[in-house]
Amino acid sequence: MRLTCLTTVLLTLPFATAQADPSPDGHAAPAQASQPATPPTEPSTTEPSRRDELLGKGWQSSDDRLLTTNGDATGFHVMVAEARTGYSWRTVATLSQPGVDADQWIGNTCVTGSGNRAVVVYAPRTFTNREALFGRGGYTATVDLRSGTVTRLPIRTTLAYYNPGCGVDETATLTQGADQDLGRTGVLTVDAATGTLSARTELPGQFTSAVPVRGGFVAADAVGLVRVDGNGTHTRLAETGGVPSQVRPDADGGVV
């Protein structure tokens, strides 16, 4: 399957001060009245009479899927459009938290290797104004892009751009940032097919852009890329002139 992402893209740390905030579900600023949505000016699907022309023969049997996200006061929306429907857009899931007010929900997502599941981190946008909530306050879930089934994970993770990080299979990394106040970073993996979380690996200092690879994960630090094996062993993979970003795993077990 080919899947294209168009946009946007706690388990509490084991030490007492590692919670996102004394009230990690904290009360964000009261939601303000949102402006009425502007009606779309473009169609939400490919014109049926032109699908053979625009999509090519055989589009009805294609597994290709597009994905995008957007957020408003009602939640963070995960939307898909499949080739076999003429790329008709639909909302497959809307993520929010009961009792948590927001004038806008924001988030990040990545798609697993099969193209059938998304891992999503989401929160009220006001969480970005508080260091602990930004670093390890994002709600985390998996979404089945076919059925819309949402599996909420018992962990809070960072809202930073690099989280979550999907691998070539159904595994994704989840990062908890605590380098500013606790001097360390927590990284876990999740099996998106089952919702199973691994044990957390704690790394000294700041690590970003973690992605799963066979037998562990790769993450970026201030001088390059580090591989961390399942037993916690660190191996320097590469030194760079700055902090690497947009790290992606490849089918051979490496990263690009």
Q: Could you tell me if residue 207 is inside a domain?
A: yes
Distance, CA of 147 to CA of 24 (rounded, Å): 30
Edge-to-edge order in the sheet of strand 138-144: 105-111, 117-124, 138-144, 150-157
Q: Which amino acid is at 151?
A: T
Domain span at 187 = 3-16+63-239
Q: Could you tell me if residue 137 is inside a domain?
A: yes
Q: What is the pLDDT of residue 245?
A: 92
Q: Is the dihedral of CA 204, 210, 212, 218 positive or negative?
A: negative
Q: Could you tell me if residue 253 is inside a domain?
A: no
For the full predicted model, state whether its pTM sits above 0.85.
Answer: no
Evaluate if residue 125 carries a pLDDT over 50.
yes
Between 40 and 203, residue with greater pLDDT: 203
Evaluate if residue 235 carries a pLDDT over 60.
yes
Judge residue 73's burial from the number of C-beta atoms within 10 Å of its C-beta, 0-12 exposed, 13-18 middle, 19 or more buried: middle
pLDDT band at residue 6 under the 50/70/90 scheme: low
How do residues 145-154 score in pLDDT, each as one tens digit? 999 999 999 9
How do residues 162-219 score in pLDDT, each as one tens digit? 999 999 999 999 999 998 888 999 999 999 999 999 999 999 999 999 999 999 999 9
Q: Could you tell me if residue 53 is inside a domain?
A: no
The total domain count for the chain is 1
Q: What is the mean pLDDT of residues 16-26?
A: 37
Q: Could you tell me if residue 85 is inside a domain?
A: yes
Q: Could you tell me if residue 46 is inside a domain?
A: no
Using left for φ > 0, alpha for ψ between -120 and 50, and beta otherwise, residue 183 falls in left
